């Protein structure tokens, strides 16, 4: 197989490879007498993408260039990472690349991409072939009852309202509207998630035919990728789908040179869980509303107890210097006067009759002055009058 892609179409091919890279990790290539097919499949086998480049997409096309026999064409599989290295920065490839040559020999183990750039620069990429098998998805798009043709901008703007953490999208198709909402599992706490729902009228689409009203759920990651691909090429998007459990087909094509099919598996939505989620949300809102109204009629309880707050109001200093009485005097007065008693409530009180005979407290030193003398350089322990209970351990 040998073909030449003109510089204007190299940009389209590069964007196609980048779009397919968001689906799967491997790229399948198959050459047919009238076209070249690029396919990929995600690891979960729930999303499939196929892009057909027709013969008039190339300036030169020969599907059995290296073979004299009239065979069916060649098939191979390469790594998607290698394909991305070949088509770096597809936005500016049409301004840098004049021609792209793709060659595949049945006896060779390499797929060759040769980029002929401006100023005579030639870049050749030899991509290793992983396998020579091809795959084909089974789906229908012509006999489905529901068909919608939409400008890519309408759906892209609608998805901008959804959270990036949303994994699946639920589409409810009726004859009056198309409703998009994020899928919510019934096991998730509804107070910790954001529910998004957008309703689109039939007048916003180019064509809107709903033969069977249904609700389908599919992956949002791949849907964003195909929308970005359609928006980059400025082409409308066609939606073909049936009932729940059947694959949904999204088509992007220009009618002349290429056609892209994106097939997403749909899951049967748990209608009961979705309804229950809606009801639970309304119940939670009602509970919060009732709680708010009840709290509004009752005076708020202060954060601190009255006694604690009163103490803080009387003295807000972090540290206070207090006077400490002589220890011997405190012990003597407690023994002789016995003014500390217990009442019925086990609270400590002072007897007024005995406390009247308590003499005045002697003059004492403050904490600051006591500790200040200990660190003075001219301090002499002999100047302290009284008995020293603990002598210095140092002889000097």
The answer, as to whether pTM is greater than 0.75, is no
283's tokens: 């119940």
Tens-place pLDDT, residues 273-318? 444 344 444 445 554 555 555 454 444 444 444 444 444 444 433 3
pLDDT at 381 (0 to 100): 63
Structure-model confidence comparison of residues 13 and 340, the more confident one: 13
Residue 327 main-chain phi, psi, to 5 deg: -65, -40
19's tokens: 């779009």
Quickly count: other Cβ atoms within 10 Å of residue 355's Cβ.
10
Same domain? 154 vs 109: no
- Judge whether 66 lies within some domain: yes
Question: Which of 246, 272, 301 is the endpoint of a domain?
Answer: 301
pLDDT at 173 (0 to 100): 94
pLDDT at 251 (0 to 100): 95
- Judge whether 392 lies within some domain: no
**Is residue 348 a contact partner of residue 354, using CB atoms and an 8 Å limit?**
no
Same domain? 123 vs 100: yes
pLDDT at 45 (0 to 100): 87
Residue 337 main-chain phi, psi, to 5 deg: -80, -40
pLDDT at 143 (0 to 100): 85
Structure-model confidence comparison of residues 20 and 107, the more confident one: 20
Tens-place pLDDT, residues 81-107? 999 999 988 888 878 899 999 998 877
Same domain? 47 vs 122: yes
- Judge whether 154 lies within some domain: yes
Residues constituting the chain:
396
Structural domain boundaries enclosing 253: 141-301
Same domain? 201 vs 345: no
Q: Of 114-128, 152-166, 349-363, which range is least confident?
A: 349-363
Same domain? 151 vs 131: no
* CATH code of the domain containing 239: 3.70.10.10
Mean pLDDT of 351-368: 52
Question: Which of 89, 109, 137 is the endpoint of a domain?
Answer: 137
Same domain? 121 vs 166: no
Q: Position of tokens 């309202």? A: 161
Q: Rounded CA gap, 308 and 156, in Å?
A: 58
Q: Is the pLDDT of residue 372 over 90?
A: no
In 9-93, the DSSP E strands lie at 26-31, 35-41, 47-54, 60-62, 75-79
pLDDT at 307 (0 to 100): 47
pLDDT at 336 (0 to 100): 46
Q: Rounded CA gap, 264 and 267, in Å?
A: 10
């Amino acid at each position: 197989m040998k073909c030449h892609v003109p510089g204007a179409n190299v940009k389209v091919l590069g964007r196609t490879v980048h779009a397919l890279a968001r689906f799967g990790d491997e790229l399948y290539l198959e050459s047919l007498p009238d076209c070249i097919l690029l396919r990929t499949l995600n690891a979960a086998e729930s999303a499939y993408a196929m892009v057909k480049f027709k013969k008039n997409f190339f300036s030169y096309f020969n599907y059995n260039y290296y073979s004299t026999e009239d065979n069916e064409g060649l098939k191979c599989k390469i790594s998607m990472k290698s394909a991305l290295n070949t088509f770096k920065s597809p936005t500016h490839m049409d301004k840098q690349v004049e021609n792209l040559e793709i060659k595949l020999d049945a006896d060779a183990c390499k797929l060759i991409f040769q980029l002929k750039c401006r100023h005579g620069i030639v870049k050749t990429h030899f991509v290793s072939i992983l396998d020579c098998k091809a795959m084909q998805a089974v789906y229908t798009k012509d006999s489905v009852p529901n068909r919608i043709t939409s400008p890519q901008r309408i759906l892209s703007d609608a998805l901008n309202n959804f959270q990036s953490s949303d994994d699946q999208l639920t589409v409810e198709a009726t004859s009056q509207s198309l409703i998009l909402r994020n899928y919510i599992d019934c096991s998730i706490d509804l107070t910790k998630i954001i529910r998004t729902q957008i309703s689109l009228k039939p007048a916003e689409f180019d064509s809107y035919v709903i033969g069977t009203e249904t609700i389908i759920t599919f992956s949002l990651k791949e849907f964003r990728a195909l929308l970005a691909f359609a928006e980059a090429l400025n082409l409308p998007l066609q939606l073909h789908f049936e009932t729940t459990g059947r694959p949904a087909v999204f088509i992007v094509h220009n009618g002349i040179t290429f056609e892209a099919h994106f097939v997403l598996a749909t899951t049967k939505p748990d209608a009961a869980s979705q309804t229950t989620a809606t009801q639970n949300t309304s119940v939670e809102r009602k509970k919060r509303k009732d709680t708010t109204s009840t709290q509004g009629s009752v005076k708020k309880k202060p954060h601190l107890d009255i006694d604690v707050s009163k103490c803080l109001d009387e003295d807000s200093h972090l540290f206070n210097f207090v006077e400490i009485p002589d220890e011997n005097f405190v012990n003597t007065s407690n023994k002789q006067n016995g003014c500390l008693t217990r009442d019925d409530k086990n609270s400590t009180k002072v007897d007024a009759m005995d406390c009247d005979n308590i003499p005045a407290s002697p003059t004492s030193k403050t904490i600051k002055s006591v500790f200040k003398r200990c660190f003075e350089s001219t301090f002499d322990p002999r100047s302290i009058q009284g008995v020293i209970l603990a002598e210095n351990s140092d002889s000097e």
